[in-house]
Structure 1
Amino acid sequence: MQQKDRRQLRAQFEANRQKFDAANARVTERVGRNLVFALASGLLLAAIFLISVFVWTPLLLVVALLFGIMAMIELATAFRQAGRRVPRIGVSLGGAAILIGAYFWGLEGLLWSLFGAALFLMLWRAVESIIPGWKVPWRTLIADLASGVFTLVYIPFLLGIAVNFVKIEPYGEWWVFTLVLLPVVCDIGAWAAGVSFGKHKMAPRISPNKTWEGFAGAAATAVIAGALAAHFFLQQPWWLGVFLGLAVLITATAGDLVESLIKRNLNVKDMSNLIPGHGGLLDRLDSILPSVIPVFMAAFLIGVI
């Protein structure tokens, strides 16, 4: 009797597992991601972020260094597929200097370290170009240098501004939290509305999964989250949060589309397979990085930075 019960339980478990796998496969086909892996990875990243912001702030620099260097290596590797050589060690060292300068010496340190890192990277690439076997035409060298400087500005410079938010008095940690929260809820709102109602493609040649219905869902969640974050987290008027949410909606969507365009031109689906269900780190930062700009402008205009 017990053996029969065990067989029935095993059969029921196997049937439920098959149903779950089939449902997950349908969702994966629709959204292009393994939802289970994506959720698990997202929760782990969220836990690391929350601990670094609210529990032990010095960990934020460590997290920014780790994520920033890996994202720079992903982008430098992608550039190489397009025939542009961005030195991975050089850009990693320069990016680390930018983040350290921002954390310890604020915006002035951020600007000076960006200047120094750009010179260092350009010198590194120039020296490489005179080594026998690595010589390239001057037009190619200029394209390599421009790609390297773009990598420094796009990733560690913007991350450095975000890290500097934590020093805002008061509520610095909540500014950092809001910066990450708004692009994330935009992504969630776009995904939920797109899966449920998506019919009209936004940019089919660049990002086939994006729809105008998804954009509307992202707009709704961004406005609501922005108003709530401004009132409860930042202690600012709710209407400021509405404008901030709309601004982040534009920058997050643009950042996602630009990275999709880069990946399409390089013929890659993801920058890497580092994060299960998400792709590479840059695939998760693509909407957050450009959103640093409107959040910084809001903080600057109201005089908290």
Structure 2
Amino acid sequence: MNSDDESSSRRHTARRRRADLQAQLRVTREDIERQVRDGRERFDQVNERIEARTGRNLFLAIIIGVVLGAGLVASLIFVKVVFVIFATIIVGFTAFELAQALRRTGRFVDPVAAAISAVVIIGTAYFIDAPSRGMVLAGGIAFVVVFRLVAQMASGSTRGVKDIISDLATAAFIQIYVPWLASFAVVLVAQENGEWWTLGFIILVVSVDIGAYVAGLSFGKHAMAPMISPNKTWEGFAGAAACSILVGILLALFMIGQPWWIGVILGLLILGSATVGDLTESMIKRDMGIKDMSSWLPGHGGFLDRLDSILPSAAVMFGVYTVVMH
């Protein structure tokens, strides 16, 4: 075989190898694309089943939960004042959201006034003492009440006395329910090592939610409060209890430096407060005839839908900290 034939043979062999490699790469790429499509279809099917059972988009819920959680943890660990700012913004939006939802049901409340008062209550809680916090709360309630009375007079509406009193009570309720309860988390952060206690109770609330979610989704058969929250089951509550006690013990030993039995007490108390908070908000929403407070947090509903268990739990954790540390 002469040199030209050898050169032609090598070129032919090289072309064949390239063609074989390209074919192999094409088959591999198609196989990967097929596996991705199959995986996505399976994920969508699972997500659809979960969403049908719980009414939540799991993927969006996880993404938003991770983002909010990362911001919360970072603000707690590095600079306490940043947490105060973070909490003030969230609580302001929550008060506005609740007032807006109540307004859609025919109640005359003022979302902007509710948000302004909430921001002042939560924003000052870190810097003042307990008597002053009570005065700020009273001032915030007086502000929203006066604002509503002035708005009522300015509107020229012939709304009845009973309805006006109901509107004023609703405006006051928003301030007590959202910023006042949330302020206990800010006050707790201001204490020595309070950031770890705050992070601990938030982790406990999340563990209650996760335990109830997983156990309820897997084993839930017996409704816990069908007239208030149809998706809650006693099996889910049992899962939440087991999870909260276990996490409480771990947090007591490794985060807040307390005996294991303090962790058991914390787990049970936060289990109770988180459950009551969740059912309370569910009852409010059922009274208003809505599923979510808003659609501001896709996969979660609204801000209050995420804070409902945290609000009463903040007061409970502050009480435990006061008893244990003083």
TM class, shorter-chain normalised? over 0.9
Relative to 1, partners in 2 of residues 1:8 and 1:155: Cα closer, same or farther, differing over 3 Å? same
Partner of 1:158: 181
Q: 2:269, 2:155 → 1: CA distance?
A: 49
Partner of 1:25: 48
Deviation at 1:4, TM superposition (A): 5.1
**Aligned 8 A contact 2:141 2:175 in 1:** yes
Q: 1:260, 1:151 → 2: CA distance?
A: 15
Deviation at 1:108, TM superposition (A): 3.0
Q: Which runs of 5+ in 1 are unaligned?
A: none
More displaced stretch, 80-89 vs 60-69: 80-89
Relative to 1, partners in 2 of residues 1:13 and 1:151: Cα closer, same or farther, differing over 3 Å? same
Deviation at 1:13, TM superposition (A): 2.7
Letter in 2 for 1:292: A
Partner of 2:273: 251
Q: 2:200, 2:28 → 1: CA distance?
A: 52
Please state whether the residue corresponding to 1:131 is helix, strand or coil: helix
Please state whether the residue corresponding to 1:19 is helix, strand or coil: helix
Deviation at 1:8, TM superposition (A): 4.2
Q: 1:5, 1:100 → 2: CA distance?
A: 57
More displaced stretch, 234-243 vs 44-53: 234-243
Partner of 2:235: 213
Per-residue CA deviation, residues 161-196 of structure 1 (Å, 9 max, x unaligned), is 110111212x21111111211111100010111111
Number of residue pairs aligned between Structure 1 and Structure 2:
303
Partner of 1:72: 95
Letter in 2 for 1:269: K
Task: Give the TM-score, by structure 2 length.
Answer: 0.88
Per-residue CA deviation, residues 204-247 of structure 1 (Å, 9 max, x unaligned), is 12111110000001111111122222222222222122112111
Name which of 247, 251, 258 aligns with 1:229.
251
Task: Give the TM-score, by structure 1 length.
Answer: 0.94
Please state whether the residue corresponding to 2:126 is helix, strand or coil: helix
**Aligned 8 A contact 2:125 2:186 in 1:** yes
Identical columns (%)? 42
**Aligned 8 A contact 1:225 1:245 in 2:** yes
Partner of 1:144: 167
Name which of 31, 35, 55 aligns with 2:78.
55
Please state whether the residue corresponding to 1:208 is helix, strand or coil: strand
Deviation at 1:17, TM superposition (A): 1.9
